[in-house]
């Protein structure tokens, strides 16, 4: 792991001695850009965007399989969408919405050569006390070489708030001292952790080789808040590798080293045991078709912030991610992941969209994913009644989550599935990728003894509704006779990409999602259902989160999909049981500026 001695301010001392990148927000709404010194040296290296276009994975993407926004950037690079000017980008919304805050700055979206490349999408958020981090895919990396100030070459950007989300400092790219070889490639996930009186943020992302050749990885930075109040900083160390390709072709004079592609990472933390879990997908290059859903485990240290059983600390986690690659034939190297949530499907039907949650009371983990996404549109073996599109939840018992190279378990303890009517065949007006996803989001409520799944589903309206299905912890028996609709009737308009991370301290669910009032408009906002019982059987009340709607057809960007393929919502964390604070943070990509930008809103958690 590269722990370069990098500074994003001129502040020296302990952070430099520990090899951290210290990211300092200035006071006010429009701080000066941070400076970078001591970054990777040598000739500039281009970002990984489109680096993999000739790999077998990229040649399949969009034809036989679908993958994330980060995967599309890796394979195809910048993909221009020119917005229409027929209608304004911003439309006033109904009064009463919470304040909306842009977590980025247009002035920061400029390459070192002086090229403006605005456009961010695919957001994630985490909060601890007054500190908030939002991360996103960042188009500036398309035109920026390694060694740029503020790590602008990274395709994963982030913003930091010291005042509870009332304003943010755009910090540029996720710090990465090894950008000569690997670059953060988008699809961020943010998780917050408070332990030993300190606050930490973990920001994960795709992490791909600059040349497109060699193992694909999932990595994250571990960032500690130093100082306090308006002068607080983020001291980041990384990358820490949480997952890597388990297959690579052995290179020959006529064959480069193509590897399997890791995708769609998401984080969750077990604060009671000091564990960080990472769920992700892998697109294999050899085997029995399909794509497995995988998981890794990281030691964050003891309950007081000291070293844990595997030697990890909150600022320097130790991750268990499987065995190293080794030759298994004359043409293939093979490794083993830490834990396989779902094996590759023998029919080649795609698994994608892994999303983890933890039962803090027992330490058991739950992982949701979508089965047969994308392949149900083009693979004859996946278009039959025996291979329906499903959202699956899998239980991973604590006994399987040992801090060893690989888990002692070969498969989850139990699984449950919900058949759905996918939106994957319904183009969404203003969304610049053909297929939408139906990926599930999970949350555990010990108060109600449930693990709940939410997703968008076209069974009632072609442009979707947000559905809820809860299961009993452990046995995973369904608790509602049929999924519950969370969105209020509104003329069959769009409902897409729900966000849910944890239950609140009271055990209730706060769910947010993209919404449109009718099929006659592309004016899009974010709506939420708050204080929902996991055992609800009726549609709850909805509230508007966005203070302005955005017309998706009047947005220009270099990113596809222009508004990502997920939104996020997270309850602030504390350092003692139930480890959940009083504030809900919602993050989404918003088009009210005429370009996709990462926004945030906060309000009391249910």
Question: What local confidence, expressed as pLDDT, does residue 3 receive?
Answer: 32
Distance of CA 187 to the CA centre of its chain: 5
pLDDT band of 151, cuts 50, 70, 90: very high
Q: pLDDT digit string (tens) for 388-419?
A: 999 999 999 999 999 999 999 999 999 999 99
Mean of all residue pLDDT scores within the chain: 89
For residues 38, 39, 45, 49, the Cα torsion angle rounded to the nearest 10 degrees is -160
Q: CB of 115 within 8 A of CB of 139?
A: no
pLDDT band of 85, cuts 50, 70, 90: low
Token pair 């027929």 is found at 86
Question: What local confidence, expressed as pLDDT, does residue 451 receive?
Answer: 98
Question: What local confidence, expressed as pLDDT, does residue 44 receive?
Answer: 58
Question: What local confidence, expressed as pLDDT, does residue 560 receive?
Answer: 86
Better-predicted residue by pLDDT, 288 or 492? 492
Phi then psi for residue 398, to 5 deg, are: -55, -35
> Which numeric CATH code is attached to 14-32+48-604?
2.120.10.10
Question: What local confidence, expressed as pLDDT, does residue 17 receive?
Answer: 31
Distance of CA 523 to the CA centre of its chain: 25
In the numeric block, which tokens belong to residue 102?
Answer: 């842009």
Q: Is the model's pLDDT at 54 over the cut of 80?
A: no
Q: Is the model's pLDDT at 542 over the cut of 70?
A: yes
Better-predicted residue by pLDDT, 343 or 20? 343
Phi then psi for residue 22, to 5 deg, are: -100, 120
What is the β-pairing status of strands 156-161 and 169-173?
antiparallel
Q: CB of 395 within 8 A of CB of 362?
A: no
In the numeric block, which tokens belong to residue 14?
Answer: 């302990």
Beta partners for residue 526, in sequence order: 514
Alpha-carbon torsion (13, 16, 17, 21), positive or negative: positive
What are the boundaries of each domain within the chain? 14-32+48-604
Question: What's the average model confidence in pLDDT over 58-80?
Answer: 80
């Amino acid at each position: 792991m590269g722990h370069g001695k990098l500074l994003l301010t001129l502040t020296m001392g302990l952070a430099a001695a520990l090899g951290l990148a210290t990211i300092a927000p200035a006071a006010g709404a429009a701080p000066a850009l941070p400076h970078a010194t001591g970054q990777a040296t040598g000739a500039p290296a281009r970002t990984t965007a489109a680096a993999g276009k000739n790999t077998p994975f990229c040649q399949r993407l969009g034809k036989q399989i679908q993958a994330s926004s980060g995967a599309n950037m890796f394979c195809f690079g910048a993909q221009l969408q020119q917005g229409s000017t027929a209608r304004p980008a911003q439309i006033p919304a109904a009064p009463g919405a919470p304040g909306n805050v842009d977590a980025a700055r247009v002035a920061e979206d400029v390459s070192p050569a002086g090229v403006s490349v605005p456009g961010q999408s695919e957001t994630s958020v985490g909060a601890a006390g007054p500190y908030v981090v939002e991360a996103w895919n960042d188009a500036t990396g398309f035109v920026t070489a390694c060694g740029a100030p503020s790590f602008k070459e990274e395709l994963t950007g982030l913003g930091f708030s010291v005042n509870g989300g009332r304003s943010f400092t755009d910090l540029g790219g996720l710090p990465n001292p090894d950008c000569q070889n690997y670059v953060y490639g988008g699809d961020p996930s943010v998780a917050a952790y408070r332990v030993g009186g300190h606050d930490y943020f973990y920001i994960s992302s795709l992490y791909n080789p600059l040349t497109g050749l060699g193992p694909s990885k999932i990595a994250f930075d571990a960032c500690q808040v130093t100082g306090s109040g308006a002068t607080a900083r983020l001291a980041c160390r990384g990358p820490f590798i949480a997952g890597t390709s388990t297959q690579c072709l052995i290179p020959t004079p006529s064959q480069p080293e193509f590897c399997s592609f890791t995708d769609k990472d998401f984080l969750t933390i077990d604060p009671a045991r000091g564990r960080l879990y990472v769920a992700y997908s892998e697109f294999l290059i050899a085997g029995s078709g399909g794509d497995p859903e995988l998981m890794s485990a990281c030691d964050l240290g003891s309950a007081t912030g000291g070293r844990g059983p595997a030697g990890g600390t909150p600022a320097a986690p130790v991750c268990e991610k499987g065995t190293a690659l080794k030759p298994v034939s004359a043409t293939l190297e093979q490794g083993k992941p830490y834990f396989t949530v779902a094996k590759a499907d023998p029919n080649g039907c795609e698994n994608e969209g892994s999303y983890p949650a933890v039962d803090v009371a027992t330490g058991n983990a739950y992982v949701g994913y979508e089965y047969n996404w994308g392949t149900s549109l083009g693979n004859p073996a996946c278009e039959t009644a025996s291979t329906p599109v499903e959202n699956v939840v899998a239980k991973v018992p604590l006994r399987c989550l040992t801090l060893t190279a690989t888990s002692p378990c070969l498969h989850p303890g139990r699984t449950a599935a919900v058949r759905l009517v996918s939106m994957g065949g319904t183009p969404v007006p203003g969304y610049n990728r053909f297929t939408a996803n139906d990926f599930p989001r999970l949350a555990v409520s010990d108060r109600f003894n449930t693990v709940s799944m939410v997703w968008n589903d076209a069974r009632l309206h072609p442009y979707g509704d947000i559905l809820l299905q809860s299961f009993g912890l452990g046995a995973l028996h369904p608790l509602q006779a049929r999924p519950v609709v969370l969105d209020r009737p509104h003329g069959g308009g769009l409902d897409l990409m729900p966000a849910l991370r944890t239950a609140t301290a009271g055990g209730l669910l706060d769910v947010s999602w993209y919404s449109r009032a009718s099929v006659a408009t592309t004016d899009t906002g974010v709506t939420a259902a708050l204080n929902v019982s996991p055992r609800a059987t009726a549609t709850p009340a909805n509230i508007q989160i966005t203070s302005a709607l955005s017309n998706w057809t009047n947005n220009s960007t270099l990113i596809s999909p222009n508004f990502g393929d997920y939104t996020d919502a997270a309850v602030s964390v504390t350092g003692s049981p139930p480890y959940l604070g009083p504030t809900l943070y919602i993050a989404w990509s918003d088009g009210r500026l005429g370009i996709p930008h990462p926004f945030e809103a906060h309000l009391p958690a249910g």
